[in-house]
Structure 1
């Protein structure tokens, strides 16, 4: 049933399954930020995406054992949420260690 839903989504949106993972990963990340009322520096939205993706891959592996495909799916799904988390944390750390520079930039 889940595979049928994925096929329907890829056909309707005219996306590959890889692109669907990327878009859904970002969508879940943004939704988790809003639902949990945490900023992108919080690990909670990132963990939400990871949990959804691991459950998805576990269900996929139950139907078809393809570990290399599962790894690609996890990487595709987690890439941009991971980039957003790292950039937000680096930016926050920079702001905390250089408060005078931020005022100069304004």
Structure 2
């Protein structure tokens, strides 16, 4: 069922599966920030996205009536999904650290 939904979404939005991972990853990350009222420097939205992605990959392994393990495909999916949220997390944390350092230096 999940694969059918993914196929329909890729056809509806004219996206590859890789691009779908990127777009849905960013969307889930943003929604998690809104729901938990946390900014991009918080690990909470990032961990929510990671949990969603890992569950998705487990479901991919067990789709249909057989187990199909594709490690390279799973790693590619995780990388595509987590790349930009990880960049946002790192940049936000670096900026926050610099702002704290500047505030401490001025005090």
TM-score, structure 1 length as denominator?
0.91
Q: How many residues in Structure 1 have an aligned counterpart in Structure 2?
A: 101
Q: Deviation above 4 Å: which 4+ runs of structure 1?
A: none
Q: In structure 1, what is the equivalent of residue 75 of structure 2?
A: 71
Gaps of 5+ in 2: none
RMSD of aligned C-alpha atoms? 1.3
* Superimposed CA distance per residue, residues 16-68 of structure 1 (whole angstroms, 9 cap, x where no aligned partner): 00000000110000000000001111100000000000000000011322111
Could you tell me whether the CA contact under 8 Å between 1:25 and 1:49 is conserved in 2?
A: yes
- Point out the structure with the larger helix share: 1
Cα distance in 1, alignment partners of residues 11 and 29 from structure 2: 23
Cα distance in 2, alignment partners of residues 18 and 78 from structure 1: 12
Gaps of 5+ in 1: 102-106
TM-score, structure 2 length as denominator?
0.91
